[in-house]
Amino acid sequence: MESILVAILAIVSGLAGGYVVGSRRGQVAREEIERTIREEAKAEAERIIRRAQEEAEEIRKKAEKFEREAEERYEELRKKAILEAKEEVLKERERLEEELKEKRKELAELEKRLLRREEYLDKRESTLDKREENLDRRAEFLDKLEAELEEKKAEVEKLEAELLEKEVKLSQLLDEELKKLEEISGMTKEEAVEELLRRMEEEVRRDLAIRYKRIEEEFEQTAERRAKKILATTIQRLATDTVAETTVSVVDLPNNEMKGRIIGREGRNIRAFELATGVDLIIDDTPEAVTISCFDPVRREIARIALERLVADGRIHPARIEEVVEKVKQEIEQEMLSAAEEVLFELGIDNVHPELKKLLGRLKFRTSYGQNVLQHVKEVAYLAGMIAAEIGADVQLAKRAGLFHDIGKAVTHEVEGSHAIIGADILKKYGEPEAVVNAAAAHHGEVEFTTVESVCAATADALSAARPGARRESLEAYIKRIEKLESIAESFPGVMKAFAIQAGREVRIMVEPDKITDEEAAFLAHQISKKIEEEVQYPGQIKITVIRETRAVDYAK
Name the least confident of 36-40, 305-309, 324-328, 499-503.
Answer: 499-503
In this structure, is residue 557 part of a structural domain? no
pLDDT band with cut points at 50, 70 and 90 for residue 242: very low
In this structure, is residue 528 part of a structural domain? yes
In this structure, is residue 343 part of a structural domain? no
Long-range contacts of 386-391 (CB under 8 A, 24+ apart): 387/456, 387/459, 387/460, 388/452, 388/453, 388/456, 391/452, 391/456
Q: Using the 3D structure, point to which of 318, 338, 358 is the last residue of a domain.
A: 338
In this structure, is residue 106 part of a structural domain? yes
* Residue 302 exposed, middle or buried by CB count within 10 Å (0-12, 13-18, 19+): buried
First to last CA, the chain: 176
Mean pLDDT score, 105-116: 86
Taking only the tens place, the pLDDT of each residue in 277-296 is: 888 888 877 777 888 887 77
pLDDT band with cut points at 50, 70 and 90 for residue 48: confident
Q: Using the 3D structure, point to which of 210, 228, 245 is the last residue of a domain.
A: 245
Residues 326 and 362 in one domain: no
Residues 124 and 206 in one domain: yes
The yes-or-no verdict on residue 441 having pLDDT over 80 is: yes
Structurally, how many domains does the chain consist of? 5
In single-letter form, the type of residue at position 283 comes to I
| Residue-level pLDDT at 239 | 43
Taking only the tens place, the pLDDT of each residue in 457-513 is: 888 888 776 555 445 444 556 677 888 888 998 899 889 888 888 767 788 898 988
Half-sphere exposure of 352 (CA within 13 A, CB side): 27
With a pLDDT cut of 70, the percent of the chain lying above it is 79
The DSSP element (H or E) to which 495 belongs, if any, is strand 495-501
In this structure, is residue 556 part of a structural domain? no
| Residue-level pLDDT at 219 | 63
Mean pLDDT score, 386-410: 87
| Residue-level pLDDT at 472 | 46
| Residue-level pLDDT at 24 | 55
pLDDT band with cut points at 50, 70 and 90 for residue 127: confident
Pure H helices in 278-418: 297-313, 318-347, 354-362, 373-391, 395-404
The yes-or-no verdict on residue 162 having pLDDT over 60 is: yes
Q: Mean pLDDT, the chain, as a whole number? A: 79
Residues 402 and 362 in one domain: yes
Which among 379, 523, 360, 388 has a CA at the least distance from the CA of 465? Answer: 379
| Residue-level pLDDT at 231 | 47
* CATH number of the CATH domain containing 333: 3.30.1370.10
Are the beta carbons of 462 and 404 closer than 8 angstroms? no
Most confidently predicted of 15-19, 41-45, 382-386, 480-484: 382-386
Taking only the tens place, the pLDDT of each residue in 512-523 is: 888 888 878 888
Q: Which domain holds residue 266?
A: 248-338
Distance, CA of 279 to CA of 305 (rounded, Å): 13
Residues 255 and 299 in one domain: yes
Mean pLDDT score, 376-384: 88
